[in-house]
Amino acid sequence: MEILVLLKQTFDTEAKITVKDGHVVDDDVTLVINPYDEYAVEEALKLREAQGGAVTVVSVGTDRVEEALRRALAMGADEAVLVEAPAGADELTVAHALAEWASAKQWDIVLAGNVSVDSGAGQVALRFAEVLGLPHVAAALKLEVGDGKAVVHRDAEGDTEVLEVTLPTLVTAQQGLNEPRYPSVPGIMKAKRKTIARVTPAAPVAAATVVQSVFQAQQNRRNTMIKGSPAEQAQQLVQLLRGEAKVV
Amino acid sequence: MGLNFDLTEEQAAIAKLAREFADEVVAPGAGQRDKTGEFPLELVKQMGKLGFFGIPFSEAYGGMGGDTVSYALAVEEISRADASLGITLAAHCSIGMGPVYYFGTEEQKQKWLPAAARGESLASFGLTEPGAGSDSAGTRTTAVRAGDHYVINGSKSFITNAYYCRYIVCTAVTAPGKGHKGISALIVPNPTEGFSIGPAYEKMGLHASDTRPLYFDNVHVPAENLLGSEGEGFRQFMVTLDGGRISIGAMAVGIAQAALDAALKYAKERVQFGQSISKFQAIQFKLADMAMEVEMARMMVLKAAWLKDQGRPFTREGAMAKLFASEAATRAANQAIQIHGGSGYMEDFPVSRFWRDAKLTEIGEGTSEIQRIVIAKQLGC
């Protein structure tokens, strides 16, 4: 079984985000595999262990992405590919860059994260499937693969929807799909010896969106102290909640 | 290339794995294990599967093909969460597997190392006796050659991982009256008839590590279990302990870092006189000193590890690293308790555990006094 995982490197969820000159600064930030993509890697490894085959991980980005790809290799992935990011790439560009490379090979199943924790657009995986004409199921909580099809239990806003889809297909991972394994020490040592293939998109697709501005989110916390007897305080509070905050 | 403090990609990856595993898996139960003294066999197995127990050993013997720097970083991270588990790892690799790895024949290495490197069983080291510790020449355990066997009689004290070991490398006198030169090292399989493991000691700290006395009553081991030649045991063990000091230093750095982390967190949260106590210089100076000493200790440990990886002499640096890191750990834990005030004296907070655990690093694998003797000797005294 040929399994492909689309992987994005993102900020550590605990990283402090700083905006400078209209750009997010990532110099001193710990970068990790997007947590949802890590579920996809784990699911791919479990599939391979159960059914044989190979797991390939692919990512679009700069040299720094190698670290995330090496971690996926250390977890047990067989091969890793780094597609160089075209200038000014948006989700459309990235999806096409991935699809251009992936179209050269037959995949039985493509796995990806439901969404990335940085931009949170949830676009790339589904666009990738559209470009390659693959059926796709988003937000999987459980995945069973066999007889040329996949049964996917997907998170439908808190309910679970069960779908059957024929292979090849693309499935995105929701939190709860599995518990990603640690990379092992021998895995780390083996990953060191593997070559990460480099690919440059031949015909990059221009971005369809333009970022107008990037700014640091401001949190304005205003405290209002209410005075008076408990009864007066309660009355004032209700007035404020109704009149000012408009929540009751 | 000149001076460069960057870790390689795989050293950083191993340190990161150890950090995540320490925070997510080891730390949650560490306080409880300190109370019950329960040996975390499941954690040891899990660590074995992840490859922690074979980091600095060649893949030819089941090891991971990593280096001493990676190993030291792993010991530091695990010890930061639970020093009991840190010493289990350190003793197993450095002094349990170390002697066989450095001095064993190809057959001995193939026989004893792979299972140990995978963490399927642990390895122990037996030097200390009721009458021999810093003075190894006081060894009373004897090994008498009888045909194709040695017959061992005597006892050993304070042996780490004893209950869970598949073998122990121990010293015994093979030529009485010749002092150091009459001591040899032998591999004793566990179990072996006549070899018994005593009850666990009640210790001041490191409650979740396994420490026991061993007894040898006419224990027959094949002559092929001799490590190297007769009379080399003392030298072999001194070389082994040189390496062991790096791991005890790393363990001490982990405890010191844990003490600093706990003290800093508490100082920021604890409010007295209308502000967090971290705003008072009296507390700031303590924290600054702790941070400085942690940094220095880590540098020294990693430098000794790096020298070892380069195949260069590291006896002096290893002794300095172990001495400084262990005393820094005790000072850091002591100040962490002081910063915590009354809470620090209570077992609800982890800092008293750090202090009890740190003290061992000033004693085990060569006391601070022995380290000073080693350093002075290296200076040419």
Q: What is the pLDDT of residues B136-193, one digit of tens each?
A: 888 999 999 999 999 999 999 999 999 999 999 999 999 999 999 999 999 999 999 9
A185 to B21: CB separation less than 8 angstroms, yes or no: no
Q: Please report the pLDDT score of residue B134 as a whole number.
A: 87
Substitution target in B6, B7, B10, B59 with the highest count of A β-carbons within 10 Å is B10
The DSSP code sequence of B13-67 is HHHHHHHHHIIIIIHHHHHHHHHH----HHHHHHHHHHTGGGTTS-GGGT-----
**A217 part of a folded domain:** no
pLDDT single digits (tens) B47-62: 999 999 999 999 999 9
**A204 part of a folded domain:** no
Q: Is B199 exposed, middle or buried (0-12, 13-18, 19+ CB in 10 A)?
A: exposed
A246: helix, coil or strand? coil
A70 and chain B in contact, CB less than 8 A: yes
Tell me: do A103 and A187 sit in the same domain: yes
**A243 part of a folded domain:** yes
- Residue A48's nearest CA partner among A163, A174, A162, A181 is A181
**A208 part of a folded domain:** no
**B115 part of a folded domain:** yes
Tell me: do B180 and B281 sit in the same domain: no
pLDDT, average across residues B106-110: 98
Tell me: do A114 and A50 sit in the same domain: yes
A51 and chain B in contact, CB less than 8 A: no
Q: Is the pLDDT of residue B31 over 90?
A: yes
Confidence class for position A220, pLDDT limits 50, 70, 90: confident
A73 and chain B in contact, CB less than 8 A: no
With CA atoms as reference, the chain B residue closest to A188 would be B10
| DSSP-derived pairing of the beta strands B149-160 and B122-126 | unpaired
**B1 part of a folded domain:** no
Assign residue B70 the CATH number of its domain.
1.10.540.10
For A50-55, the CB contacts below 8 A with 24+ separation are A51/A1, A51/A145, A51/A146, A52/A1, A53/A1, A53/A2, A53/A3, A53/A108, A54/A1, A54/A2, A54/A3, A54/A78, A54/A79, A55/A3, A55/A4, A55/A5, A55/A79
Tell me: do B225 and B243 sit in the same domain: no
pLDDT single digits (tens) B324-341: 999 999 999 999 999 999
pLDDT single digits (tens) A59-85: 999 999 999 999 999 999 999 999 999
Question: What single-letter amino acid sits at B164?
Answer: Y
**A67 part of a folded domain:** yes
Q: Is the pLDDT of residue B210 over 90?
A: yes
CB B170 within 8 A of CB B246: no
Measured CA to CA, the distance from residue B159 to residue B248 in angstroms comes to 15
Tell me: do A162 and A100 sit in the same domain: yes
Assign residue B134 the CATH number of its domain.
2.40.110.10
pLDDT single digits (tens) A5-31: 999 999 988 888 888 888 888 888 889
Q: Please report the pLDDT score of residue A176 as a whole number.
A: 96
Confidence class for position B355, pLDDT limits 50, 70, 90: very high
Q: Is the pLDDT of residue A245 over 90?
A: no
Confidence class for position A144, pLDDT limits 50, 70, 90: very high
| DSSP-derived pairing of the beta strands B165-173 and B183-189 | antiparallel
Q: Please report the pLDDT score of residue A16 as a whole number.
A: 84
Q: Which of B89, B122, B155 is the last residue of a domain?
A: B122
Domain range spanning residue B295? 235-378
Q: Which of B103, B122, B141 is the last residue of a domain?
A: B122
For B219, the token pair is: 């224990």
- Residue A154's nearest CA partner among A168, A178, A171 is A171
Distances in whole angstroms, Cα of residue B296 to Cα of each of A71, A100, A216, B206: 30, 51, 37, 24
DSSP B129: B
Tell me: do B248 and B172 sit in the same domain: no
**A165 part of a folded domain:** yes
For B264-272, the CB contacts below 8 A with 24+ separation are B266/B339, B266/B340, B266/B343, B266/B349, B267/B339, B270/B341
CB B126 within 8 A of CB B156: yes
Q: What is the pTM of this model?
A: 0.91
Tell me: do B305 and B361 sit in the same domain: yes
Task: Indicate left, alpha or beta for A109 from its phi (over 0: left) and psi (-120 to 50: alpha).
Answer: beta
B10 to A189: CB separation less than 8 angstroms, yes or no: yes
Spatial CB neighbours of B121, under 8 Å, sequence gap ≥ 6: B115, B164, B165, B166
> Among all chains, which residue has been given the structure tokens 């369809």?
A208
Q: Is the pLDDT of residue B104 over 90?
A: yes
CA distance from start to end of chain A: 56
Confidence class for position B100, pLDDT limits 50, 70, 90: very high
Tell me: do A172 and A106 sit in the same domain: yes
Measured CA to CA, the distance from residue B291 to residue A178 in angstroms comes to 39
Measured CA to CA, the distance from residue B374 to residue B361 in angstroms comes to 16
Tell me: do A45 and A112 sit in the same domain: yes
Average pLDDT, chain A: 94
Q: Is B9 exposed, middle or buried (0-12, 13-18, 19+ CB in 10 A)?
A: middle
Q: Please report the pLDDT score of residue B165 as a whole number.
A: 96
Tell me: do B345 and B220 sit in the same domain: no
A76 and chain B in contact, CB less than 8 A: no
Tell me: do A142 and A232 sit in the same domain: no
Tell me: do B242 and B322 sit in the same domain: yes
pLDDT, average across residues A210-216: 88
Domain range spanning residue A244? 222-248
Q: Please report the pLDDT score of residue A13 as a whole number.
A: 83
For B18, the token pair is: 């150890």
Q: Is the pLDDT of residue B1 over 80?
A: no
The tally of domains found in chain A comes to: 2
A18 phi/psi in degrees, rounded to 5: -120, 135
Beta bridge partners of B160: B211
Confidence class for position B318, pLDDT limits 50, 70, 90: very high
Tell me: do A187 and A79 sit in the same domain: yes
User: Cis peptide leading into A204, omega within 30 of 0?
Assistant: no
Measured CA to CA, the distance from residue B164 to residue B173 in angstroms comes to 25
Assign residue B337 the CATH number of its domain.
1.20.140.10
Tell me: do A124 and A232 sit in the same domain: no
How many C-beta neighbours within 10 Å does residue A2 have?
15
Tell me: do A166 and A243 sit in the same domain: no
pLDDT, average across residues A130-139: 97
Q: Which of the residues of B are catalytic?
A: 365
A185 to B14: CB separation less than 8 angstroms, yes or no: yes
Confidence class for position A247, pLDDT limits 50, 70, 90: confident
B9 to A185: CB separation less than 8 angstroms, yes or no: no
Tell me: do B176 and B188 sit in the same domain: yes
**B80 part of a folded domain:** yes
Tell me: do A76 and A139 sit in the same domain: yes
Assign residue A104 the CATH number of its domain.
3.40.50.620
**A215 part of a folded domain:** no
pLDDT single digits (tens) A22-56: 888 888 888 999 999 999 999 999 999 999 999 99
Q: Is B282 exposed, middle or buried (0-12, 13-18, 19+ CB in 10 A)?
A: exposed
Confidence class for position B347, pLDDT limits 50, 70, 90: very high
% of residues, chain B, pLDDT over 70: 100
Tell me: do B186 and B260 sit in the same domain: no
- Distance, in angstroms, between A96 CA and closest chain B CA? 31
Tell me: do B94 and B107 sit in the same domain: yes
**CB-CB neighbors (< 8 A) of B20 in chain A:** 182
Measured CA to CA, the distance from residue B160 to residue B95 in angstroms comes to 10
Q: Which of B100, B122, B144 is the last residue of a domain?
A: B122
Handedness of CA B40, B44, B49, B51 (dihedral sign): positive
Tell me: do B205 and B80 sit in the same domain: no
Question: What single-letter amino acid sits at B22?
Answer: A
**CB-CB neighbors (< 8 A) of B119 in chain A:** none
Q: Is the pLDDT of residue A219 over 80?
A: no
- Distance, in angstroms, between A67 CA and closest chain B CA? 8
Tell me: do A138 and A234 sit in the same domain: no
The tally of domains found in chain B comes to: 3
**CB-CB neighbors (< 8 A) of A187 in chain B:** 51
**B4 part of a folded domain:** no
**A209 part of a folded domain:** no
Tell me: do A195 and A232 sit in the same domain: no
Spatial CB neighbours of A201, under 8 Å, sequence gap ≥ 6: A83, A84, A86, A96, A97, A100, A101
- Distance, in angstroms, between A44 CA and closest chain B CA? 19
Tell me: do B246 and B348 sit in the same domain: yes
